[in-house]
Structure 1
Amino acid sequence: MYKRIMLMGAVLFIHLLNVAAQDRNDWRDLSIIDRNKEKGRTTFKSYETREDAVNRTNPRWLSLNGTWKFHLSQKPDDKPEDFYKPGFDIENWHDIQVPGNWEMQGFDVPIYVNHPYEFADPRTPITELRNGPEPPKIPTDYNPVGSYVRTFEVPLKWKDDEIFIYLGNVKSAFYIWVNGKMAGYSEGSKLPSEFNITSLVEPGKTNTVALEVYRWSDGSYLECQDFWRMSGIEREVAIYSQPKTRIRDFEVVSTLNDTYEHGILQLYVELQNHEEKDRTVWIGFSLLGKDHEMATGEMKQTIKAGTVISSNLDPVLKHFLPLKDIKSWSAEDPNLYTLTLTLSDDKKRVIESTTMNIGFRRVEIKRGQLLVNGMPVTLKGTNIHETDPTTGHYLTEEVMRRDIELMKLFNINAVRLSHYPFPERWYELCDEYGLYVVDEANIESHGLYYGERSLAKFPQWEEMHVDRMVRMVQRDKNHPSVIIWSMGNEAGNGVNFYAGYKAIKEADRSRRPVQYERTEIGSRHALEFDWNTDIIVPQYPDPATFEWFGQRLPDRPFIPSEYAHSMGNSTGNFQDYWDVIDRYPQLQGGFIWDWVDQAIWKTTEDGKRHLAYGGDFGENMPSDGNFLLNGIIFADRSVQPGLYEVKKAHAWIKFKLLRVRENIARILIENHYDFTNLDQFELSAMVKSDGKVQKTITLPAISADPHSSKVIDIDLSGIELIDNTEYFLEMKALTTVKKALVPKGHAVAEEQFRLPWFKASEGGIATEESLKLTETENGWNIVGEHFKMSINRVEGTIDEYQYNGRHLIKNGYGPRPDFWRAPIDNDFGNGMPRNHINWKKATLAPKLVDCTAVKISDSQAEVKVTWKLEEVNTHFHTTYTIFGNGIVEIDNHLEASSTEKTDIPRVGMNFALPGNFQHLTYFGRGPWENYSDRNVSSFVGLYEGNASEQYVPYVRPQENGSKTEVRWAALTDSDGNGLLTIGKTPRQGFTMTAMPYLTEDFDARVGTDYGPIEKEQKHYTDVVKRDLVRMNVDFGQRGVGGVDSWYSKPLEKYRLKPDVSYEWKLILVPLEGADKDKILEMSKKY
């Protein structure tokens, strides 16, 4: 009788569900966020035996990933109404891959905007919401609807089980039917939706599942994140079964005692009885260490028919507590234990078993500091979006592992999941390999901003806000890597976040800290923050703001949720941040914006495949251009130069040179690790000069506890010093074992010190070879036995420079003053292209006011050139001294400007060599691109490569490839013929760019008009290699900046002031048959 009633109840419920949703308008009904959806739960799979659970084999799980049938309608009124019913003809529908965004598979287009709602962007309206957002109103005239269908087999052996369908993430809202009957409705993407489909499927037979997915729903008002706006089934789909009496959920509280030495374990298991009678069961647990069982037990429970109970296993666990000598979990030592839960019947026959990895760690805030296992930790973090250039918002495990591997290799120990929970597998990998996770709810309503329209302030939106926060906690609560909950991002503050804070605290027995970044009261310097954040998490403070907060000892940890905006060629002044962070206890790190460029692959009509950004898809679609290209790695997971600077600044081992006396270098070694002793590393030292190792010093193992330091002396004796030679001491800390994706022998920290041994000898360009100076119609010819030079007095440049018949300067590209660089994204953000345009005008059209040539001796001639830079009211002077052996000395002088107020993008000179001089050898900072505010990771050394290899292919072309503090650089052909440029400013050298492209190839505009649309829709594939090598030999460039990309300039110390005069000297030396050693020898002669 009871069974009949249960069956009738289920049938009635399904009927009512279908009636309630038959008009299918829940996607625009604020009062409905789901129908028939299962309550949130932790991530686990069900196994029939304990052995299967421990080995993770044969789960009751069947993936529905793969090929589905698909139809796209452009608006809801056009959707196929009865497609989910048996017999509906879908034979001519398209195939689509699940998981995957339909926009990435040729259906509709992806849209990128930063903070507007793409469906209500008044700049470029594409729906009836032409004047902006009107929450909760959702467009109907253009709101694509994707209809998905596939068949699947339910194993016959599941016929007596409860059967569920799991959808890891569907964006934005969807209905689901099984065998023609509605299973439910859900909105709120980036978290799983699960439905009980037991009464809808036929085990042992072919079944059909259908989804109707809406691109936009009222839930989209909380999904206004800065990323590609795309739709579809973005994560795994599967069916799974559990017995009629089952483990519905469980919570693990695995922490440490007050001395942080021993483990404390609490288990709460939720059991559900779907049967028609009461059941008596045994719930058992087992905790396995690496090679032994640490605790095991079981407890008897009775569950009434059709009910759910929560079991606290404390009565069993107390016999094992505390767990002695537990190995705690941290990002440095991610020690894991295997917890197995087993449900048995009253005769102790196994019904179900499951397992998961757990870690013991304690997270708390004391004395204004974030502590893990009793230690203040520093979060050297990055934000990360769920993005792949091929699959869009679907990440394979291979990509996840690559991301984590790179983070571990480059000294990143924390990730903020921006701005939504990630796939379950991500957390398991963070548990395993050791990354601290800030888990963020899928809430951002940026397009309504933070004032009176903010949805945070409207109680009718509370359920939607709180549901997303609580479901995140319910799913991810058992992961040791999750140390902080974040309520969302850029969604204002108000009653809904007050409610959310309380709900998270109530849902998480581990009591992790909760943060939210919109809790400032007044200005960022007010030192007032609302009560509903445990951590101060502002966005984009500059180093001075870090310092300001550090000096005032705030009552909460200061860990910016976003800083160091790394758009394009950026990540400048990163070491400046960490110089401050390392000084103050409450400054505990921050999260770079962000990890990876969000570019996606596109093939153009002419067959070019390139990485695309906003505005590259569809006509007249909303776009914020390339503002989503903010990664410190490229979209294909290759490394950007800025990542090396991050690794250097983030290093947990710091070397500091205290002094060098009597060939003894005294070094202070600081251990910034939170849990690791220095004896875990091999320390090495070497002395180098001219790119060669002069001495290798083997250092003994050094023991230094976390947050301590040690002073050592290094014997530098035995090195024969040579004049005009710089000597450098290089220190390294290497791993001694393979650990968490980091190989043995990996350098976790490196440092370089210039030793005070440089001794200049008397040099000069002495030659007895004579030359002739003759005047021509356009200027002068200067000729020696082996060389010929032509000076154009109309242009004030070298038209021709030959040595033994080889052209060293490409015709038309003689040396010219240069004050401009192709604007980088940060330059556009701070207005440089428009505000500093006078410096581009001065570069393009300097007015020649004087050009004279005179023979000052039998072996020397001198050419003096003066340009008036009218737009900036100053002059630039160049003096060429030409010697009879073909060597040219160049003296440059830029006078200070008394009227121009904008800093100078570049103070320099450029010329070009013929395209066959491709081989670059230089002595300076490298090997990767570096700038004045991003070069501490680039050690001074001797480097070789091809000029083409100096080009860094930022997705939107911009200034790139610079090298700072270059002492000399040579460009040669395959036979060693070419030109050597020597800087004559000690230590500073010159700033160099050498590549087969001109500045204009990377500039957003060829001329001086940066009109209403500043940036053309250009890509790296538009940059065509030229038959030349452009050589910039500069006093310097402004830094690239790294605070933000919409306002801030580079820090003042990295800017070139206009009211200062600049002088620098260069020497050009022709080369013949020169290898690296010969070039090095010649560089010391002059």
Structure 2
Amino acid sequence: MSNSNNKEINDWENSRIIGQNKESAHNTYTPYADIESAIGGIKESPYYKSLNGYWKFNWVKKPADRPIEFYKIDFDISNWSDIPVPSHWQLEGYGIPIYLNFQYPKSINMQIIPSIDHEYNPVGSYRKEFTVPNNWQGREIFINFDGVDSAFYIWINGEKVGYSQGSMTPAEFNITKYICEGTNLLAVEVYRWSDGSYLEDQDMWRLSGIYRDVYLYSTPQLHIRDFFVYCDLDNNYKDANLKIKIKIHNYSEKELAGNKVELILLDENSNTVGSDILISLNDLNIEAHKEIEVKMNRLIKNPKKWTADTPNLYEVILNLKDSNDISIEVERCKFGFRKVEIKNSQIYINGVSILLKGIDRHEHDPDHGRAISYDNMGEEIRILKQYNINAVRTSHFPDHPKWYDLCDEYGIYILDECNLESHGLRMVLPKDDPDWTDAVVDRMVSMVERDKNHPCIIMWSLGNEAGKGKNFQIMKDAALKIDPTRPFHYEGDWNLEVADVFSLMYPTIEDLEKVGKNLPIKRFGKDFRPEMYKDKPVVLCEYEFSVGNSTGNLQEYMEIFEKYENIIGGFIWDFADKAFRKYDENGKQYWAYGGDFGDDPNDRNFMCSGIFQPDRTPKPAALEVKKVYQNIKCIPVDLINGRIKVQNKHDFINLDFINIHWELTANGEIIQEGILSKLDLGPKEEKLLLIPFKNPELRPETEYHLMIKSILAENVLWARIGYLSAWDQFKLPYETIPAPISDSKPISNLEVEDIIEKIILRGKVFNIIIDKKIGGITSFIYNGMELIAAPLVPNLWRVLTDADLCFELASRAKIKRKKFYWKTVIEDRKVENYTIDQISPQVVRIKIELTLPKQKSTYKIIYTIDGNGEIIVENEFFPDMEIYRFGMQMGIPKEYDKITWYGRGPHENYWDRKKSAAVGVYSMPIEDFKQDYVRPQENGNRCDVRWVSFADESGFGILAKGMPLLGISAWPYTMDDLKNAQHINELPIRESITVNIDYKQKGVGNGLTESSLVHDEPTLNKYRLKGNTLYTYKFLLKPITKEDSIS
């Protein structure tokens, strides 16, 4: 496997060399001079100095061309450029980003392991001058790199300090002996690829450089090098035994005796808990250049507990004093009292079983890659809370250290994942290979040591898609020596021998239900028997692959989660589309994905699988997640009398921060509303609620809905008062009253003319033309205004979504023919027969039969037209195979760009993703009605539409009314435009608007399950339009003017 025995091998091609002269991993901290500055935070420390900013930079394509002596003080860099640190050099104009899912880039040899192509392994050379504060004299000085991809050497003042690899955790060096007075020179040489890259085969952009913070800090000769704060709770989960392990290092040449460590515990108001000094360890003697570990513990009476619902934090302050009782050093960390347990096949926090409503989050900024700012992290954490997401898996590597601070503060459960993925080589690497043991263990230990003090972390993950083997047990054992308080996760543990949970990736609903019932399942040829997993909680480490327009049937997954106690939830893949912002030659923005930078090979837009756009604009999928994940649920008990059961699905908090706003609507119009202040309901409790509406005087042809909104009654950390946290809507079961017969609008006579190619119908103020070759309406002129710009014709196809394409499986000829079949079939239709029936002087019925290639049954259309220009359109078809949609499509003039509808909205929704779309009356311009995805595809649908109108500024236009319901979508471009575009900037604005009037459209599916991979089908059966089924539907088309009532 490894060629590490070769004496000539480079450090960056040697799997056994993972660092040189590096400091051992430890928790994240900053040394302070005193308690007051420690309470103030990092900016108050005189012993911290950031090196972020502009550095001098040089880039070459291969190691042989690098400036070998660049680290020397007198080396000429006058022609070097500046580069910001943190950053990725590819995003600053040096080389190109490469996007691959599990393939390795060309430079990484998959036959000789490890071996890197010396002809293309770019090297970035960095230089930075800095000074050291005067008050650091006589102290130890360290430099910390929070993240460098992938391997690097460091020099100070021309002297080599060390080497590091492992891109996602810190590299730290003691540089005390290299520092001089005045200006110092830091030089760093970064290699794009290294043997470490074999363990970093995550589904991500391959980017390089110093992309996280770089800083200096100094410590006294006697230094708290590491500490671990944890606790145990009593059997009642009330009182806590606070425990601390502290490592104290003596860097001096002599023994230091008579020292002591004091612990101070502060609450959220900076008041001391217990006595001013909670614990003190005295008479600590440390030999020269030695390190000791000491332990503290103290019973804390009923502290406030930390959970995602109640992120109560305390401050732990450690004060190291010398023999004269003078403070030498103060360190601090935030701490939350909480206990994680696995029992009864569930996961418990502080004795309460929890459900993980999670998401996978990959660090990515559309402009800066993995060089994310603190402000952006803050924005994302607030989004998570606002969208009812309570858990994040750091897929697939440890995140920026400050991310965990925010999760502690806001309340997010974290599954912290080790920077280990060998997807493209997981059958051989790392497995049992001892040449890779140190590397994988180092990655695990570095993560656990760095992050161990964060209460938000409730589980460690050994990595992702890296196969199986003895090395994983070794990793777990090493982590357990550091932290025995948290369980372990690893989806690749298919024998269920290492992990404490049974992790599933993209299970089908059927398999998940079997696991909930403790039944055997088979996944990808592997048998999982109940005795293997019956004592382990089941977690979905990835589900609902949200690529493009997808995230269907999320509600079905949540129903399974809530039905079976042994299923503890899951993590949706994933948070945001990982594309980059680019502009075309006309200055129009678009999102760039694999291949757009000249990267070859690439996996195109496979990484655009988030519920948010790259800029964190919510996609409709995000709104579906917010709705399905909501923590307040209303269930109808007796709707007519306003009796509703309210459930608090929060695990730890009362709903007394919520006001209930209710609305009674008639055909979408609010006719009554009210507020029930501050809902008093304990966690996991339910109660009956009386909504005090009065039964309305019923109107003809009117439906009534009750909307119940859960609104924040006060400001919280993540949202302001008035924020909509949850909602439910119910149709009231009133008897429908028919409309009275009215003769206020007499119907004019209708003339019909049947000529060679056309059927022409003339009313008093309109003309309609039906083309006999295509069977569709080609013109509808009303009061001299044309209402149709492209024929009204059948449509059985949609522009394929990313899920429809099943990630280029469509390149297989058979599947490709199947997926495009209905497009070509409908285009090749022929009119077989037609009849014209003059039912009365005012009404004409035209029946058309179409033949479709390779279809036994004919497609039937019936147009019933009256003298006022109202058209009832009926469709009937019996396909012999599944169809994407059953509907009709037409074009209308672009002036009719104001869309108003009564149905589900306001956002895009589909048959299997409409839980989040309430029934109402909505209005918006066409530009907002469509939905842009990174790669253009089917978009913009609205379900359960009663009626929809398209009007110009004067209110003139056309209306479609369902008989009873329709699916509607509209675009300012054609279907062919949508099919051909690869990026949103390629979509034109046409002179007409494309309108789709459907019976139904196939659900969008959830992108990736075993069903989609093996059977090429991402959509549940109940949301499909199967073949060998008779489909019929009808709708009304009519012109409208400003004076018309369309309700």
**C-alpha contact 1:563 1:593 (8 A) present in aligned 2:** yes
**C-alpha contact 2:908 2:941 (8 A) present in aligned 1:** yes
Compute the TM-score of the two structures, normalised by the length of structure 2. Answer: 0.94
Correspondence for 1:500:
475
Asked if residue 365 in structure 1 is aligned to residue 348 in structure 2, the reply is: no
Indicate the RMSD between aligned Cα atoms, in angstroms.
Answer: 1.9
Asked if residue 531 in structure 1 is aligned to residue 509 in structure 2, the reply is: no
Over residues 486-517 of structure 1, what are the superposed CA-to-partner deviations in whole Å (9 max), with x where a residue is unaligned?
000000111000111111111104x2011100
Correspondence for 1:268:
245
Task: Measure, in 1, the Cα distance between the counterparts of 2:255 and 2:779.
Answer: 98
Correspondence for 1:1072:
1041
SS at match of 2:927: helix
Task: Measure, in 1, the Cα distance between the counterparts of 2:885 and 2:847.
Answer: 22
Matched residue type, 2:34: T
Q: Which residue, 963, 967, 971 being the options, matches 1:991? A: 967
Q: Which residue, 840, 847, 850 being the options, matches 2:830? A: 847
Asked if residue 550 in structure 1 is aligned to residue 516 in structure 2, the reply is: yes
Correspondence for 1:167:
145
Task: Measure, in 2, the Cα distance between the counterparts of 1:665 and 1:606.
Answer: 57
Q: Where does the alignment leave 5 or more consecutive residues of structure 1 unmatched?
A: 1-19, 120-126, 522-529, 1005-1015, 1081-1086
Correspondence for 2:154:
176
Correspondence for 2:1002:
1038
Over residues 569-617 of structure 1, what are the superposed CA-to-partner deviations in whole Å (9 max), with x where a residue is unaligned?
0100001111111111111110000001100122345544321000001
Task: Measure, in 2, the Cα distance between the counterparts of 1:926 and 1:94.
Answer: 51
Q: Which residue, 87, 91, 95 being the options, matches 1:100? A: 87
SS at match of 1:505: helix
**C-alpha contact 2:659 2:675 (8 A) present in aligned 1:** no
**C-alpha contact 2:747 2:866 (8 A) present in aligned 1:** no
Q: Which of 598-607 and 36-45 deviates more?
A: 598-607
1:571-970 aligned within 5 A: 571-605=551-585, 607-618=587-598, 621-660=600-639, 663-699=640-676, 702-761=679-738, 767-810=746-789, 813-829=790-806, 831=810, 833-894=816-877, 896-897=878-879, 900-901=880-881, 903-970=882-949
Correspondence for 1:1002:
978
Correspondence for 2:128:
150
Over residues 145-190 of structure 1, what are the superposed CA-to-partner deviations in whole Å (9 max), with x where a residue is unaligned?
1111111111122121100111111110000000000110000111
Task: Call closer, same or farther: CA 1:21–1:144 in 2, change over 3 Å.
Answer: farther
**C-alpha contact 1:389 1:635 (8 A) present in aligned 2:** yes
Task: Measure, in 2, the Cα distance between the counterparts of 1:836 and 1:784.
Answer: 42
1:8-407 aligned within 5 A: 25-56=10-41, 57-119=44-106, 127=107, 129=109, 132-203=110-181, 205-280=182-257, 281-291=259-269, 292-295=271-274, 296=277, 297-300=279-282, 301-314=284-297, 317=298, 321=299, 323-407=300-384
Task: Call closer, same or farther: CA 1:610–1:916 in 2, change over 3 Å.
Answer: same
SS at match of 1:166: strand
Matched residue type, 1:749: A
Deviation at 1:834, TM superposition (A): 3.2
Task: Call closer, same or farther: CA 1:612–1:382 in 2, change over 3 Å.
Answer: same
SS at match of 2:178: coil
Q: Which of 815-824 and 872-881 deviates more?
A: 872-881
Deviation at 1:735, TM superposition (A): 2.2
Q: Where does the alignment leave 5 or more consecutive residues of structure 2 unmatched?
A: 519-529
**C-alpha contact 1:448 1:454 (8 A) present in aligned 2:** yes
Matched residue type, 1:288: L
Correspondence for 1:14:
none
Matched residue type, 2:406: L
SS at match of 1:393: coil
Matched residue type, 2:597: F
Compute the TM-score of the two structures, normalised by the length of structure 1. Answer: 0.91
Task: Call closer, same or farther: CA 1:706–1:128 in 2, change over 3 Å.
Answer: closer
What is the total number of aligned residue pairs between the two structures?
A: 1008
Q: Which of 597-606 and 32-41 deviates more?
A: 597-606
Correspondence for 2:523:
none
Task: Measure, in 2, the Cα distance between the counterparts of 1:574 and 1:30.
Answer: 42
Q: Percent identity, aligned pairs only? A: 38
Deviation at 1:346, TM superposition (A): 1.1
Over residues 1022-1045 of structure 1, what are the superposed CA-to-partner deviations in whole Å (9 max), with x where a residue is unaligned?
011111121111011100001516
**C-alpha contact 1:340 1:354 (8 A) present in aligned 2:** yes
Q: Which residue, 495, 515, 518 being the options, matches 2:492? A: 518
Task: Measure, in 1, the Cα distance between the counterparts of 2:747 and 2:250.
Answer: 103
Matched residue type, 1:682: N
Matched residue type, 2:440: H
Correspondence for 1:1009:
none
Correspondence for 1:1054:
1023
Matched residue type, 2:855: V
Matched residue type, 1:995: W
SS at match of 2:273: strand
Correspondence for 2:527:
none
Matched residue type, 2:261: I
Correspondence for 2:442:
467
Correspondence for 2:522:
none
1:433-512 aligned within 5 A: 433-449=410-426, 451=427, 453-509=428-484, 511-512=485-486
**C-alpha contact 1:331 1:433 (8 A) present in aligned 2:** yes
Q: Which of 621-630 and 716-725 deviates more?
A: 716-725
Task: Measure, in 2, the Cα distance between the counterparts of 1:948 and 1:277.
Answer: 74
Deviation at 1:738, TM superposition (A): 1.7
SS at match of 1:956: coil
**C-alpha contact 1:727 1:758 (8 A) present in aligned 2:** no
Task: Measure, in 2, the Cα distance between the counterparts of 1:604 and 1:914.
Answer: 28
Deviation at 1:255, TM superposition (A): 3.8
Matched residue type, 2:96: V
Matched residue type, 2:445: V
Matched residue type, 2:421: E
Task: Measure, in 2, the Cα distance between the counterparts of 1:585 and 1:680.
Answer: 28
Deviation at 1:690, TM superposition (A): 2.3
**C-alpha contact 1:723 1:758 (8 A) present in aligned 2:** no
SS at match of 2:544: coil
Correspondence for 1:1083:
none
Deviation at 1:282, TM superposition (A): 1.9
SS at match of 1:582: helix
**C-alpha contact 1:827 1:833 (8 A) present in aligned 2:** no
Task: Measure, in 2, the Cα distance between the counterparts of 1:841 and 1:30.
Answer: 54
Task: Measure, in 1, the Cα distance between the counterparts of 2:68 and 2:585.
Answer: 36
Deviation at 1:217, TM superposition (A): 0.5
Matched residue type, 1:537: S
**C-alpha contact 1:724 1:758 (8 A) present in aligned 2:** no
**C-alpha contact 1:235 1:394 (8 A) present in aligned 2:** yes
Correspondence for 2:521:
none
Q: Which of 754-763 and 1022-1031 deviates more?
A: 754-763
Asked if residue 975 in structure 1 is aligned to residue 933 in structure 2, the reply is: no
Task: Call closer, same or farther: CA 1:165–1:306 in 2, change over 3 Å.
Answer: same
Deviation at 1:870, TM superposition (A): 1.9
Task: Call closer, same or farther: CA 1:774–1:763 in 2, change over 3 Å.
Answer: farther
SS at match of 2:337: coil
Q: Which of 960-969 and 762-771 deviates more?
A: 762-771
Over residues 274-326 of structure 1, what are the superposed CA-to-partner deviations in whole Å (9 max), with x where a residue is unaligned?
11111132211110113321042322211111111111123xx3xxx1x1221
